[in-house]
Amino acid sequence: MLTLEDFTHLHDFPVLWGDMDSANHVNNLVYLRWAESVRVVYFEAIGVDISFGPEGGTGGILAWQDCKYTFPMTYPDTARVGARTIEVLEDRFIMQTAIFSQRHGRLAAVTKQAIVPYDYAGLRKVPLPDAWIAGIKREDQTVRTHS
């Protein structure tokens, strides 16, 4: 079972009343927004450039994601969201985020994402930069790597 201690990158998001849907719990999309926000913070920590402009550059692109919802969060609460890399492949890395309800002290959702390095000027996938791999290894010492 995942715990907060499994993650080196944590960020808190207040649950807003407007985050809830007609079923009176946090809307599923909100969990994905929290995962996206913490993913960007994690990208900065490992050296993925998120600031390139119209001239292009190499950045990460989300190839796929999934989310398993385990507990319905409601207002008021605070979502504590952790991010880490769980696997490095030749052409991508796999991230995991976990969303914990601070009020209830439990896991509310867990997500996985495949991040592919993308040349935005050339509009094509590129090899995983060595600097990203080094950043991942620096931030997540337990990551599995495959070549």
> What type of residue is 43?
F
Say if CB 43 and CB 85 are below 8 A apart: no
Domains in the chain: boundaries: 4-145
Q: How confident is the model over 76-102, as pLDDT tens digits?
A: 999 999 999 999 999 999 999 999 999
> What type of residue is 68?
K
CA distance 66 to 111: 5
CA distance 127 to 115: 12
At 53 the pLDDT is 65
Q: Residue 61 belongs to what H/E stretch?
A: strand 58-69
- CATH of region 4-145: 3.10.129.10
At 47 the pLDDT is 92
Say if CB 81 and CB 106 are below 8 A apart: no
Residue 80's contacts (CB-CB under 8 Å, 6 or more residues apart) are: 4, 10, 11, 12, 99, 100, 102
Length of the chain: 147
Q: Tell me which of 27-36, 45-54, 59-68, 117-126 is least confident.
A: 45-54
